[in-house]
Structure 1
Amino acid sequence: MGDLEIRPVTTDDVPAIVAMLADDPLGAQRESPDDLSPYLAALERLNGDPNQLLRVAERDGRVVGTLQLTIVPGLSRKGATRSIIEGVRIHADERGSGLGTQLIEWAIEESRRQGCSLVQLTSDASRTDAHRFYERLGFTASHVGFKLAL
């Protein structure tokens, strides 16, 4: 395997990211790889916000993974800053290679660098393999999450 680079997302990366987002049963229902315009608009908003770190993992010139890290200042926990990891996806060819661990370790280290005292993430209840993965990396299932579609 070639060298891995974790770098900021560019517009050229969007098709590969959307393909990874859509490459599972849940993503296939909610993503639209045929129309990239909403994703490109979202990337523009993300790039304009210094608290949003959208990254890809690239190996040999190919996007093989992605995640979003959001830095959230707050008042709770004595004014603590936390980070939220979202949208973690690994290309099917790279699953089981350790790439997911590398991406999460990057996010944890970047969270420390940004002064965060807590890293959190959510994972769909049906993603039991992902839950085991996150627990192996030291995360604990400590809260119940709720969502309201608007």
Structure 2
Amino acid sequence: MSDLEIRPALLEDLPAIVAMLADDPLGTQRESPDDLIPYTAAFEQLAKDPRQHQVVAVLGNRVVGTLQLTIIAGLSRRGSTRSIIEGVRIHADERGSGLGTRLIEWAIDESRRQNCQLVQLTSDASRTEAHQFYERLGFGASHVGFKMSI
């Protein structure tokens, strides 16, 4: 995996990103890879915001992973800046290869570079294997999360 490149996502990467978002039991219920219009609008918003980092992991010429890193200034924790990792996905062919670890390590390193004091993420309660993965990387299940669809 020495030829792995982690780089900012390009609009041309969007079909591969959306396909990975849709490629699991939760994603099949909420993603629509056959209609990229809403994803394109969201991607364009992300691309304009310097505190949003949609990245892809590329092996050869193939997009095999993705995540979104958001940098947030805040008043709590003595005015700490934090990052949030969202939408982590690894192509089915690459799961278990160490690629997820490399992608999360990139996000942590970028968070340090952006002077963050805290890196946080959420994972759906049903994703028990993902929870174990994040715990192995040093994340702790420290909070209970709540969401509301509006």
Query: What interval of TM-score do these two structures reach, taking the shorter chain for normalisation?
Result: over 0.9
Asked if 1:59 corresponds to 2:59, the answer is yes
Aligned to 1:121: 121
Q: Which deviations, in whole Å up to 9, do the C-alpha atoms of 1:110-150 show, x marking residues without a partner?
A: 00000000000000000000000000000000000000101
Structure 2: which 5+ residue stretches go unaligned? none
Q: How does 1:59-98 map to 2 (within 5 A)?
A: 59-98=59-98
- Asked if the contact 1:2/1:60 (under 8 Å) is kept, the reply is no
Task: State the superposition RMSD in angstroms.
Answer: 0.7
Question: Aligned ranges for residues 16-55 of structure 1 at < 5 Å?
Answer: 16-55=16-55
In structure 2, what residue type is equivalent to 1:61?
N
Residue 2 of structure 1 and its aligned partner are, at CA, apart by 5.7
CA distance in 2, matches of 1:40, 1:3: 28
CA distance, structure 1, for counterparts of residue 38 and residue 8 of structure 2 = 19
What is the CA distance between 1:81 and its match in structure 2? 0.1
SS of the aligned residue for 2:63 comes to strand
In 2, Cα distance between the equivalents of 1:9 and 1:66? 8
Distance 1:62 1:132 in 2: 27
Closer, same or farther in 2 for the Cα pair 1:2/1:62, shift >3 Å? Answer: farther
Query: Partner letter of residue 139 of structure 1?
Result: F
SS in 2 for 1:106: helix
The list of structure 1 runs, each at least 4 consecutive aligned residues, that deviate by more than 3 angstroms after superposition, is none
